[in-house]
Amino acid sequence: MAKKKSITENDIISSYMDYVLEHNENPKSVYAFAKGNNFEESKFYDFFGSFEALEKHIFEAFFKNTLSVLDKSEDYKSFDARNKLLSFYFTFFENLTANRSYVTYSLHRYKNGLKGLTVLSELKKSFTSYIEDLDIETLDIKHEQIDKIQRRALQESAWLQLLLTMKFWMEDTSAAFEKTDIFIEKAVNTSFDVLSIAPLKSVLDFGKFIFKEKMNMN
């Protein structure tokens, strides 16, 4: 049988996901995988350097598909940071649910240690960049180094929250994963309530007022 002359990135991803779900293991080699799907081995390397790179890309693709859907929504564009993040979560987990068999296969053995999982490294880069672009308000300390620390802490805590939600979703057995929806809403809303800077601003303003009054009295 003649080899396929053209094959797309999505063709390779789809074939790879089908293989691991049907065989419950990764392909033995790129050569065997390409031969089994009737395309030249070199075509694989046009898109991916290894199966590990392919696996990383799959999770990043879930992220990109999520943003693609959200970018088409005029409502989403008008949302504040809290509601944008909620929309992201619900859409992202719809994508995961549509591919649940693959996701659980890929992550199940690591479910107790997702934080350091290299297969999620590209997803982490994209997600933390997304969090930065949301421009979530933090305390204005007027100090560049402290501001960097605040932003970094915000990104890392947001990433940890996403991992915890993925772990919860993997273990969720409720109909239509309704418990995960509840978890998402409560987790995101709680995190924004904790991040709310209004009370902290009030404390700082009050402290400045007291300091100023004491200086005037002296």
What pTM was estimated for this model as a whole? 0.83
pLDDT digits (tens, 9 = 90+) for 56-67: 999 999 999 999
What domain range is 22 assigned to?
A: 9-45
Tell me what pLDDT residue 152 has.
Answer: 83
Same domain, 70 and 121: yes
pLDDT digits (tens, 9 = 90+) for 5-30: 689 999 999 999 999 999 999 999 99
Output phi, psi for 39, to 5 deg: -140, 160
User: Is pLDDT larger for residue 140 or for residue 32?
Assistant: 32
Is 213 within a domain? no
Same domain, 89 and 154: yes
Is 109 within a domain? yes
Same domain, 60 and 27: no
Tell me what pLDDT residue 205 has.
Answer: 54
Is 218 within a domain? no
For the chain, how many structural domains are there in total? 2
Is 134 within a domain? yes
User: Is pLDDT larger for residue 159 or for residue 136?
Assistant: 159
pLDDT digits (tens, 9 = 90+) for 101-135: 999 999 987 756 676 588 999 999 999 999 999 98
Same domain, 79 and 106: yes
Tell me what pLDDT residue 213 has.
Answer: 45
Tell me what pLDDT residue 19 has.
Answer: 97
Please provide the average confidence, as pLDDT, over all residues in the chain.
85
Is 61 within a domain? yes
Same domain, 16 and 73: no
| Predicted confidence (pLDDT) at residue 178 exceeds the cutoff of 90 | yes
Give the position of tokens 């799907």: 37
Is 120 within a domain? yes
Tell me what pLDDT residue 36 has.
Answer: 95
